[in-house]
Structure 1
Amino acid sequence: MGYNDKWELFSEKYKNLCTGHDVIPDSLFKEYGVNRGLRDINGNGVLTGLTNISRIDSFRMENGQKEPCDGKLWYRGYNVTDLVQHIPKDSFGFEKIAYLLLFGELPSAEEAKDFSELLAAGRELPTNFTRDVIMKASSKDIMNSMTRSILTLASYDDNLNSTEISNVILQCLNLISVFPMLAVYGYHAYNHYDRNESMYIHRPDPNLSTAENLLMMLRPDKKYTFLEAKVLDVALILHMEHGGGNNSTFTTRVVTSSGSDTYSAIAAAMSSLKGPKHGGANIKVMEMMDDIRNHVRDYSDKEEISQYLSKILAGEAFDNKGLIYGMGHAVYSLSDPRERVFKGFVEQLAKAKHREEDMLLYNNIETLAPELIAEKRKIYKGVSPNVDFYSGFVYDMLDIPVELYTPIFAIARIVGWSAHRLEEIVGMNKIIRPAYKSVMQERELPCDTL
């Protein structure tokens, strides 16, 4: 029997035998009070820790009852909507908000300048790293490419395992600095070696913001408009942090609590974020929107749009999963504040890119989908569009390839991961070790032993 035949045999054996052992009846979860996915019966997250970094509001208490409310997201005590709206129209805010999340206070003008210069100085990869690591084994999966690069960067760090706060801050800032390069260079390597396209590697410009550098390094001619960079900057700010309970941030804290190094903790978070249930939501929205465009002729005809959305909800169209992607959120109820503040920038970009018809389609789906979902499903907390409903549309208008959608999420979210790693080291000092109840049955060893 050949090697592949043996693997196929054991694969079938697992499906036929072992899955029987590994499937645990639903009744046992209820009997032992186990909240699957660390969520209670109403979908609320089980409390596993405390944080001073951010907060999400989606309900309010009225007469002792929990009532859905418009969502709010807070960074270090500041409403994110206010933070975005107070960034001067002629400048960028990613670096300033990153400073806020990491250090807990808004920077002064001098501190903001010094911090931006520090990030710019950190946008330097080791000699020949791009050639020997990123280009050596190109991959369509840029998240995997980035994760490999992160773990390889650990080999260049003489203080790899030190968890002294000054060292961890330095490591986090260096990773925040190089993440755009790891993503864009990883894409260019894939585009060249796997798709036979031209290769170009642009070095970052120390005088440009993170959003500007991203667009400049990605495009062959290095050109971009201020509006393009501004909208991308806002997208990065809104994806930067979202509480300690999301899957990748919790992963960061779990790995950090074991005493592991910064690179391992961030690589683990990357592995979590790349999962389609977490960081890939905007890709599903884009796939769904392409399908809707193929089946709806008039983007202003709400009746025609409603009929097709009903088919999607019934599992009769698109991917047959019965989901309208980009609608609803695990935490928010009546509204996602990120979507609300982002939409105004999306509309500006759509006008500049002559994509008003697409914007009309998005607007109509945003209005119709919650009504249809409420009619057909039992909704305990309301449903509304989330930030991923529009983020993919923005990346498409910016000519960002779909392979970079989730990596751009990571470029933003590493700031939040870094803040939570620091908070875990400073304030917790206890390994996170949840309990699992064993429901295994004891068995007697047969007489004809092994």
Structure 2
Amino acid sequence: MDLGKGYYSENTPEIVELSKLSEEADLIENDLFIKYDVKRGLRDLNGKGVLTGLTRISEIIAKKNVDGKEIPADGEIYFRGYDVHQLIDAAVKENRFAFEECAYLLLFDKLPTGKELFEFEKLLGVYKSLPTSFVRDVIMKAPSRDMMNTLARSVLTLYSYDDHADDVSLPNVLRQSLQLISMFPLLSIYGYHAYNHYHEGNSLIIHPPKEELSTAETILYLLRPDSKYTELEAKLLDICLVLHMEHGGGNNSSFTTHVVSSSMTDTYSVIAAAIGSLKGPRHGGANIKVVHMFDDIEANVSNWEDEDEVRAYLDKILNKEAFDKAGLIYGIGHAIYSKSDPRAVILKGFVEKLAVEKGKEKELALYKMVEKIAPELIAGERTMYKGVSANVDFYSGFVYRMLELPEELYPTIFAIARIVGWSAHRMEELANNGKIIRPAYMAIEPRKEYVDMTDRD
């Protein structure tokens, strides 16, 4: 259906003229933000965020205090006080999945015993199902080309299937959160299969879930026609999920969760709002840009091992002469981190094994070269208020491509992981029964006298 039929489209003279008026009416001079000390993006020029709340869920370290001064430091991330690197290393050493254990930790502020983890995984398995006919009546109807929109619509529709949808008591919100954590892989993968069938003309495949599988295994099992995957594939995807599941209360989608939860609305509305935030290319869609950028580099650089040739092409990208001409080297830089993003460091340590299994050593070498060259080029071209380094999106898209995950699902894989963090932040906001979040905006429009219709120009 073309929603433009019967309406003014964006290219009609009327809409073009009105859009110009709107832009002129809304534009605010940058000098005014400086004059009134407005922290745009709720961050200062050094990337330090404005303190808007307190959280016990996770901590992000990007600087260290030395002799009374804050200086850039290698990034660190802690889940409920535990170093994420140690959590992942322990799971790898014991040859088990980490996502469910970290989900328990984030929700309940304790590392589970073996029995507690078994019971928790069993509960998530029981919740790993959708209402009767939901796939047919909701997911298969009018499938979207955008999987995040499909996911948000499915989440909002689940409200109608919940007899206690508006109950914001903590036990009920926890029940809803656990169900959504279990349902997200189903909603995402089934949504993709519907799109792939109705829009791309491919076979429709719907595998029923298995309660005993981990979240990472469930994704691969539901997605692939033959449901087959290697242990290495599942374990590396599990690590990706852990690295994406939580990143402090200040990231855009988690802050959205706090803001919307503070209005005391229902869980489904809150999570749909968080999905809308994560969908944005400045937040959850960045790894797609990274893999597309590397496609472009591989197509235009004849010798991937020639550092000078790679450097010259990256310089073209940075100067808006190549790729999408936005002047950005995607996957490099982060709003908070400077010297290193711990998630990228951890992921990079596991990527090599999968690259060998998939025969992608040459591509991995190119990624490592760009990771080395890009910060040097950026520092030479632009004023730097803090250092830049590879972020988690730099390698995650490469991993997803090696796992043969369709690009349409990249942002929803992020959401499948981050639903845990969102749930923890929603519970935290409700537990503390804070005020509705309402920051201040300064009005700068001058006062005006009313003009009668007959006297207007």
Shorter chain as denominator, the TM-score bin is: over 0.9
More moved, 374-383 vs 200-209: 374-383
Match of 1:86 in 2: 90
Q: Which amino acid in 2 is paired with 1:405? A: Y
The alpha carbon displacement at 1:89 in A equals 4.5
Match of 2:27 in 1: 23
The answer to whether residue 153 in structure 2 is matched with residue 148 in structure 1 is yes
Match of 1:401 among 389, 399, 406: 406
Unaligned 5+ runs, structure 2:
none
Match of 1:111 in 2: 116
Q: Which amino acid in 2 is paired with 1:289? A: F
Q: Which amino acid in 2 is paired with 1:11? A: I
Match of 2:198 in 1: 193
- Separation in 2, partners of 1:362, 1:6: 42
Match of 1:386 in 2: 391
The one-character-per-residue Cα deviations of 1:60-91 (angstroms, maximum 9, x if unpaired) are 11112111010000000001111110114421
Match of 1:60 among 64, 67, 75: 64
The alpha carbon displacement at 1:9 in A equals 4.5
- Residues 151-300 of structure 1 aligned to structure 2 (within 5 Å): 151-300=156-305
- Separation in 1, partners of 2:97, 2:159: 30
The alpha carbon displacement at 1:3 in A equals 4.7
The alpha carbon displacement at 1:14 in A equals 2.1
- Separation in 2, partners of 1:447, 1:81: 67
Secondary structure in 2 matching 1:44: coil
**Structure-2 change in CA distance of 1:330 and 1:448 (3 Å):** closer
Q: Indicate the RMSD between aligned Cα atoms, in angstroms.
A: 1.4
Secondary structure in 2 matching 1:272: helix
The answer to whether residue 373 in structure 2 is matched with residue 373 in structure 1 is no
The answer to whether residue 336 in structure 2 is matched with residue 345 in structure 1 is no
The alpha carbon displacement at 1:315 in A equals 1.4
Whether the 8 Å CA contact 2:338–2:387 is kept in 1: the answer is: yes
The answer to whether residue 38 in structure 2 is matched with residue 41 in structure 1 is no
The one-character-per-residue Cα deviations of 1:388-434 (angstroms, maximum 9, x if unpaired) are 00000000011100000000000000000000000000114210011
Q: Which amino acid in 1 is paired with 2:187? A: L
- Separation in 1, partners of 2:452, 2:257: 47
Match of 2:429 in 1: 424
**Structure-2 change in CA distance of 1:238 and 1:164 (3 Å):** same
Match of 1:443 in 2: 448
- Separation in 2, partners of 1:375, 1:445: 53
- Separation in 2, partners of 1:356, 1:286: 16
Match of 2:101 in 1: 96
Q: Which amino acid in 2 is paired with 1:90? A: N
Match of 2:73 among 56, 69, 73: 69
Q: Which amino acid in 2 is paired with 1:75? A: F
Whether the 8 Å CA contact 2:47–2:386 is kept in 1: the answer is: no
**Structure-2 change in CA distance of 1:193 and 1:62 (3 Å):** same
- Separation in 1, partners of 2:23, 2:383: 32
The one-character-per-residue Cα deviations of 1:11-61 (angstroms, maximum 9, x if unpaired) are 223233232221111222222222112122323211111101001101011
- Separation in 1, partners of 2:6, 2:168: 44
The alpha carbon displacement at 1:306 in A equals 1.0
- Separation in 1, partners of 2:316, 2:118: 53
Whether the 8 Å CA contact 2:8–2:15 is kept in 1: the answer is: no
Match of 2:332 in 1: 327
Secondary structure in 1 matching 2:129: coil
The alpha carbon displacement at 1:5 in A equals 4.9
The one-character-per-residue Cα deviations of 1:177-202 (angstroms, maximum 9, x if unpaired) are 00000000000000000111001100
* Structure 1 residue runs of 4 or more that deviate by more than 6 Å after TM superposition: none
More moved, 3-12 vs 198-207: 3-12
**Structure-2 change in CA distance of 1:6 and 1:313 (3 Å):** closer
Q: Which amino acid in 1 is paired with 2:318? A: L
The alpha carbon displacement at 1:376 in A equals 1.9
Q: How many residues align?
A: 449
Unaligned 5+ runs, structure 1:
none
- Separation in 2, partners of 1:5, 1:118: 51
- Separation in 2, partners of 1:371, 1:133: 49
- Separation in 2, partners of 1:110, 1:122: 19
The one-character-per-residue Cα deviations of 1:265-311 (angstroms, maximum 9, x if unpaired) are 00000000000111001000011000000011222211111111111
More moved, 318-327 vs 367-376: 367-376
Match of 1:309 in 2: 314
- Separation in 2, partners of 1:260, 1:448: 42
The one-character-per-residue Cα deviations of 1:131-187 (angstroms, maximum 9, x if unpaired) are 100001111101000100000001111111111110000000000000000000000
Q: Which amino acid in 2 is paired with 1:225? A: T
